[in-house]
Amino acid sequence: MGRADGSQRQVSASDVDDSESAILHVDMDAFFASVELLERPDARGKPAIVGHAGGRGVVTSATYEARRYGVRSAMPMSQALRLCPNAIILPPHYERYTEYSAKVMEIFREVTPLVEPLSIDEAFLDVSGARRLLGSPRRIAELIRSRVWEETGLTCSVGVAATKFMAKLASGRAKPDGLLVIPRAETLTFLRPLPVGALWGVGASTQASLERMGLLTVGDLADAPLHVLQKAVGDAGGRKLHDLANGRDARRIVTESREKSIGHENTFGTDVGDLDTLRREFLRLSGRVGERLRTHAMIARTVSIKVRFSDFRTITRSRTLAEPTNVGRRLFEEAWDVFGALNLDVRQTPLRLIGVRAEQLLDAGGDAVALWDPDEEWRETERTLDAVSARFGRGMIGPASLVRRARDADEEERDGRNPRYVSD
């Protein structure tokens, strides 16, 4: 199987025992960058960075060639270019990522209905029921990799194991463009030499705390008394780490998911201290949130805002609405009112970033919808705008203060946990 210390890419031999390993984790390789390279074949094999150059742009994605220089997602573009000055800059095209994600997820669902998307570019699959028609889990993984390549021109890495945690760990070790099977019987052999940071939920601070206790490897955690771990990271955290370190993960594939929130935020190229500019941006962001709520047939009970100053000090505030809504204008009015309640002197302390987020989401048309709709006129107007945008593109029609700058603002926008793609 190869080394289990994470120092090199690992792939499985063809005769590996996969009889008890029916969980797959499929992870697209450098997804955003790979999609961009489909339109830029001249950049293949070269260090390339997806993002906007200049100002306060950040790295959205990077090819593996750029990653060898230390370039990572969410890194300031200025820092990335210092590390890799010869990198090719590729502007992001989020609509393409959505398109290719849908194609990939459809391939997964044609293999098995038990698919749990984790994000736009990765998913868990349970292929227990697909064995009779398609063969062993390894064979199914090979089929998926082949189909993804043939139908999209993209590569993916697949981990095959008996549990979700081990499958995800395996796909990471197989990158890029690899397949790694961890037989159930070899789970502990694979796990024990790994550093404690390899475990799900162990961040830098937790890892430092564990290492101060002399717990350096997963094997150390597995052998430690449960009460010692609970004292270090709490009762629930200690039990979770103890279970994972001993190869225990009882979670099943969850095929239905509800988005917890939908939000948009924007980091300005230069700090903004003008209220009119901020008001227009709150209106634009609220409109985008409302549009996505309607696309997903959802309404929100709560609207929240985020503001960030030049020193990265950040304030968030939220308000529960009298009636849940998916109308951008209503979200804007509430968000702007919440912002006003902060009583900020933005001329003295201009803002680096603002954001609007809809929370406590419900299905639209459910019992939570009021008999009387106070936003009926705005709702019909925005539905008309949705139809126009779908046909002619966003920014062709809308509030007069926004139409001229809509396209430029889209390029500046930065979403919360995953650009434009919901799910916190």
pTM: 0.65
The band of 380, judged by pLDDT with boundaries at 50, 70 and 90, is: low
Active site (catalytic) residues: 122
pLDDT tens by residue, 272-283: 999 999 999 999
Given this model, what pLDDT does residue 102 score?
93
| Distance from C-alpha of 138 to C-alpha of 383, rounded to nearest angstrom | 47
pLDDT tens by residue, 144-170: 999 999 999 999 999 999 999 999 999
Q: Is the pLDDT of residue 143 over 60?
A: yes
| Distance from C-alpha of 216 to C-alpha of 193, rounded to nearest angstrom | 9
| Peptide bond preceding 117 in cis form (omega within 30 of 0) | no
Cβ-based neighbours of 339, under 8 Å, separated by 6 or more: 278, 282, 305, 307, 317, 354
- Residues 267 and 138 sit within 8 Å (Cβ to Cβ): no
Judged by DSSP in three states, 159 sits in strand
CA distance readout (Å), 388 to 93, 297, 298, 328, 407: 20, 18, 20, 16, 15
Given this model, what pLDDT does residue 412 score?
43
Q: Is the pLDDT of residue 373 over 80?
A: no
Given this model, what pLDDT does residue 378 score?
60
Q: Is the pLDDT of residue 77 over 50?
A: yes
pLDDT top residue among 6 and 308 = 308
Identical fold between 45-91 and 261-414: no
Span 6-26, average pLDDT: 84
CATH 2.70.70.10 for the 23-31+95-186 domain, yes or no: no
Give the residue numbers of the binding site. Answer: 27, 121
Give the residue numbers of the binding site for Mg(2+). Answer: 27, 121
* Average pLDDT value for the chain: 84
Cα dihedral across residues 121, 94, 384, 276: positive or negative: positive
Cβ-based neighbours of 395, under 8 Å, separated by 6 or more: 389, 402, 403, 406, 407, 410
Q: Is the pLDDT of residue 264 over 70?
A: yes
Q: Is the pLDDT of residue 55 over 90?
A: no
Look up the CATH superfamily of 192-245: 5' to 3' exonuclease, C-terminal subdomain (1.10.150.20)
- Residues 104 and 152 sit within 8 Å (Cβ to Cβ): yes
Indicate the DSSP class of residue 127. -
| Distance from C-alpha of 71 to C-alpha of 62, rounded to nearest angstrom | 7
User: Top-level CATH class of 261-414?
Assistant: alpha beta
Span 52-75, average pLDDT: 89
Given this model, what pLDDT does residue 144 score?
97
CATH of domain 45-91: 3.40.1170.60
Domain positions in the chain are: 23-31+95-186, 45-91, 192-245, 261-414
How do the residues of the chain divide into helix, strand and coil, expressed in percent and rounded to 5?
Answer: 45, 20, 35
